[in-house]
Amino acid sequence: MINLFCRYCNKEVEAVITDKVFENGTLHKQADCVECGLYIKYIADETKPAVLYFGKYKGKTMEWVAESDRDYLIWLGDQDIKNRLKEQIRNALTNSTVKEKPQIIMPAEEVPQKSLWQELYGEGK
């Protein structure tokens, strides 16, 4: 059991973790409140590789996309997405065996500030 915030009880409570299999066959860890018995959230399985759950690479691992289409992950990391997903993208790009810098499509002065591109490659070409 772990402690999580239950929005129904409006406090931090113990949560029981159970396996839940969806119709498509995927297995998830579900956290339910011990006090009210209602669903709190799904828990990520950190032992499994991160998988994209939307977009043109839906169902592919981050590592596969980092090796196959590095530019896509860099672009995705600069979008308005959850911090957890940004961290998974950053890790996949950092751990990728493809280290060469892709061709810059836009001049460095047009790259948005605080972009994943600049974080990984610095300024300019």
What pLDDT, in 10s, does the model give residues 24-75?
777 788 999 999 999 999 887 777 788 888 889 988 999 999 999 999 999 9
Q: What is the pTM of this model?
A: 0.55
Kind and range of the H or E run holding 2:
strand 2-6
HSE-up of residue 18 (Cα within 13 Å, Cβ side)? 11
The pLDDT of residue 111: 46
The pLDDT of residue 53: 82
| Distance between CA atoms of residues 86 and 78, nearest Å | 8
| Distance between CA atoms of residues 114 and 77, nearest Å | 11
